[in-house]
Amino acid sequence: MQDWGGAPIPRGEAVMMPQAFRSLRNRNFRLWSIGAVVSNTGTWFQRIAQDWLVLTQLTDHRASAVGIVMALQAAPTILLLPYTGAAADRLDRRKLLMVTQASQALLALVLGILAIENAIALWGVYVIAFLFGCATAFDSPARHTFASDLVGEDDIANAVALNSTSFNMARLVGPAVAGAVIAATGVGWAFLINGASFVAVLCSLFFLRTGELHPQTRSTRKSMQLLGGFRYIRQRPELATVMLMTFFIGTFGLNFPIFISTMSASVFHTGAARYGLLMSIMALGSLGGALFAAHHSAPSIRSLTISATIFGAGLFVAGLSPTFWIFGATLTIVGGASVSFTTATSSFMQLVTEQAMRGRVASIRLAVGLGGTLIGGPIMGAIADRLGPRTSVVLGATSGFVAALLAIQHLSRERRLRGAPVAEDIAHPSNCDDTVESAGGVALPDDRNPA
């Protein structure tokens, strides 16, 4: 453990740091978090600019085109699934992240230059979205599992929650400022700002003290097979349930670029500035959800049930909101519940998965959640085009209720098997056939992660 200056802190010594922010005692994690805040702010510039470019400049308010862009960005998560999780398990995650982050920066700069020169067409956005998705497919499993390299096993859940807090702090500022920038200068400069923002996270990765990183337990080449990851999940009922919950909410519920942009432009008839404001309003709730998650170190199936239910209820009310401001208010509930759910699923799956399998399990989770956009994005966009944005949002709300029912079914099954109420604690991992090795190449037995 490190103090604010990076010096070791004896175990048990009190540190003036709120429990929810305990991972920030670690110098490497602080540095990573600073870079992430800057880069994530730029990412929101890109998201707002891309949605608005496609919806209002390259098409005539065609929500289906936005859905196609989302699907193309998600497609590589599925197509490259045999390689992305294995890369996170096998390669040096820090170096892998430097490559993926630099690739995303380059693509953002290219898109910005083309937009400023008025040389961008819809097909060009599609191509860049797909290439961006390829970089993200390798980036996401490595980034999600990098928390254990930075802080170690004891603080994984807290580090994941603080990463989410960082993302939503950027979400609070980024969309509103991006909307103002787009209104004043056009979408091109928003893309360029995002490209420049990657410098911060690249610098943070470069200046990490590699000697203080926790050793990464890596899988052998034999155990890198993706089928091993699916087999591992199938043998773990709690992981399988969370995967199904993630599929429904990720496929039909987390389509905010479609829901909010179409409600903003077609229902409330506002411009880019108001669209960005809505995204920032939702971020208020998202930030609250992330901070709530940071206070809780052991997410459970029961807590996922609650957040999924609240998500569905909030999105249902949002779809029926009569005014812009009521819609914005309900988005705070939706934002808080969605971040609470996604953060808890990430923490839960890392905590119950042994180290050598985390990259593959994380990549499968991301493929299920983000890859579901391949199905959900075009479908929800087409529904918004044909039946109206409100119908699309209300139908998206059902994903939360379906996910909650899946969780309740799992809890009931566990009660019957155990003959007693399900404990709130996370279950211990079951046996896995994979042989693993440490970063130093020494063979290790099957590594159990206590709840």
Q: How far apart are CA 148 and CA 398, in angstroms?
A: 34
Q: Does residue 179 belong to any structural domain of this protein?
A: yes
Residue 10 inside a domain? The answer is no
pLDDT at 226: 61
**Structure pTM?**
0.65
Beta carbons of 392 and 259 less than 8 angstroms apart: yes
Report yes or no on 443 lying in a domain: no
Classify each residue of 2-39 as buried b or exposed e, where b means 16 or more C-beta atoms within 10 Å of its C-beta: beeeeeeeeeeeeeeeeebbbbbbbbbbbbbbebbbbb
User: Does 429 map to a domain?
Assistant: no
Q: What is the CA radius of gyration of the chain?
A: 21
**In angstroms, rounded to a whole number, what is the distance separating the alpha carbons of residues 413 and 430?**
17
Range of the domain at 388: 19-207+227-419
Per-residue confidence in pLDDT tens, the chain, 451 aa: 333 333 333 333 334 456 667 777 788 888 988 998 899 899 889 988 998 899 888 888 888 888 889 889 888 877 887 788 778 878 888 899 999 999 999 999 999 999 999 999 999 999 999 999 999 889 988 887 787 788 876 677 777 777 777 777 787 788 888 888 888 888 999 999 999 999 999 999 999 988 888 765 555 444 445 667 778 888 888 888 988 998 999 889 988 888 998 898 889 988 878 888 888 888 888 777 777 766 665 678 888 899 999 999 999 999 999 999 999 999 999 988 988 888 888 778 777 777 777 777 877 877 777 656 678 888 888 899 899 999 999 999 999 999 999 999 988 888 887 765 443 444 443 443 333 333 332 222 233 232 3
Which single residue is written with the structure tokens 């969370």?
242
For residue 370, the model assigns a pLDDT of 66
Q: Is residue 278 part of a domain?
A: yes
Can you give the CATH number for the domain in which 96 is found?
Answer: 1.20.1250.20
Place of tokens 């390829």: 134
pLDDT at 327: 95
The pLDDT value recorded for residue 445 is: 28
3-state secondary structure of 121: coil
**What is the C-alpha to C-alpha distance for residues 410 and 416, in angstroms, rounded to an integer?**
10
pLDDT value for 215:
66
Instruction: Answer whether residue 14 is part of any domain.
Output: no
In a domain, 275, yes or no: yes
Q: Report the C-alpha gap between 136 and 198 in whole angstroms.
A: 13
Residue 89 lies in a domain: yes
Number of domains, the chain: 1
